[in-house]
Structure 1
Amino acid sequence: MAVIDTVLRTAPPHRIAVLALDGVYPFELGIPNRVFPEVDGAYEVITCAATDDRTVATNADFTITVQHGPEALDHADTVVVPPYDLSRITAAPPAPVLEALRRIRPGTRIVSICTGAFALAAAGLLDGRPATTHWALTDVFRRMFPQVPLDPDVLFVDDGDLLTSAGAASGLDVCLHIVRADHGSTVANQVARRCVVPPWREGGQVQYIERPVPPEPDAGTAATRAWALERLDRPLALRELAAHARMSPRTFARRFQEETGTSPGRWLIQQRVQRARHLLEASELPVDRIAAEVGFATGASLRRHLHAAIGVTPQAYRRTFQVTA
């Protein structure tokens, strides 16, 4: 069931081509077709192969036949490259794959999920551009592509017309992020609810790196995070958060970092910026009032943090997303 008002149907749909490479992971291959069609009439999603044969081996015990060949890349507005199996990433992609990637028009938005970044890097599309991939493949990627600035700690990297995401479910994160960028947080949140996934995951993929289980799993910070989210309009010092969790400030900060991949202070700023973005989209409140509602001392503080997070002012963000959403 789609979630966008039919008024958007008057605009031509944004064309998304999902490039299935041999060894593709079926779960991630299906993510774009699961997320984007929820926005009624706004996107057209097709799946294509790198060759005219259109038969693609998956990393499972079956092959698939897609309806489109590489010509679908010629007119795509966005190209998504899902991951393919680990046995293939250390070798140079076959010539037809590189030829298919060269068909992408300049200015087309390009997105990779997990090991899809290896194909993009091999084609030179990531040279000098910030990127990410699955944390377990960081060393391999850096050895193969030292010219790519890699950030292994994040769920995805948005570098304008180039987006790369980490493993598996981060494909959902980056697709929802694209919906949010194109149509605003309200629509993205509705899509997330339809897909029964969180609209925004806290922290980065560092929180999923294998590490010993804390000795007291019931003494985590989740309850304190929920408590803090209800009080974002108040100053929340580390000592107050730690007291709520019944920990020392030092233990709380360490446990918080282990569970979320970020510090309490940075997490609070992220949540306040996210709440401010929602209010900028969904209300007519003045910037100073929104700043007070989300716990920034002044409108200037909100402007500074929003610009640091997404590179725009509150007024520019509101002009873009309030009208679009």
Structure 2
Amino acid sequence: MMSTLSLNISIVNHQIFVLVGIPGMEEENSWMAFPLCLLYILTLFGNVLILFVIKTDRSLHEPMYLFLSLLACSDLGATLCTMPTMLGVYWFGFKEISFNACIVQMFFIHLFQWTESGILVAMALDRSVAIKNPLRYTSLLSNTVIGKIGLAILARGFCVCFPAPFLIKRLPFCGSNMLSHSYCLHQDIMHLACADTTVNMLYGLIIVICTLCLDVAIILVSYALILKTVLSVASREERSRSLNTCVSHICAILIFYMPMVGASVVHRVGRHLSPMVHMMMANIYIAVPPVLNPIVYSVKTKQIRQRICKMFQQNKIRS
């Protein structure tokens, strides 16, 4: 009786999940490995460079750049918890991942996802304060305040993601153990369960409403206040200068939210689409934002661009 019960439990609960590269074209996975490896290297280099420049240049120890350093840390975290398994699948053909490792990766992916969303909200509020109250900007957003905001954002992300592993752990998996991507997501694992997943679906819906929708609403309100303040300024030059300080942040918002929304739409209503489309959207959603953010801020932010150019010129002179 006990042996039969333990056999049934071992059959129902998978201990291994299978990650997927290019659907139906596994022999071509190596073609995807090189661009992913290049993105990995560029992401690490770009974000570490941003952190180094901000740390070494005291003139950049301002709220805007401190929030940018938080964004770079979040991008590094998201990259470090996803790229190893992605490269393992595409480059070395390592497709299997243990159940517990998959849950841990899922937790950290969603943690950095919601942390980055919170950082983008904080950066929107930073721009609003800088434009509406420029004289009190540094006093309102002191280093202590920024540290508390960063801890609050991280705590929110942790609390939002904390239930997910337990909601997945309670589910039985008796059918396919093949995931849809080369990394683990809550909705992807949930769809493999052979039990009622209503609680998991409600959890996901509540999280989206209470975090993503709320974050987007705060960002929109912040920029409405920014536009109201900027349009009240008489000088066209001052209006242009004020809006230029927001360009990088607006690009970061689009870079983060558009792939997320696109991947979600394709995942929910695009089941008739080619598996290749799902694979590309999933990889873009994970791999592209962390590599584009440092490029955007390096190109669009004058102070960072000048500091990076100066640093490379000094290295060239020394060599």
TM-score between both structures, scaled by the size of structure 1: 0.24
Structure scoring higher RCO (CA < 8 A, sep ≥ 6) equals 2
TM-score between both structures, scaled by the size of structure 2: 0.24
Decide which structure has greater strand share: 1
> Which has the larger Rg?
2
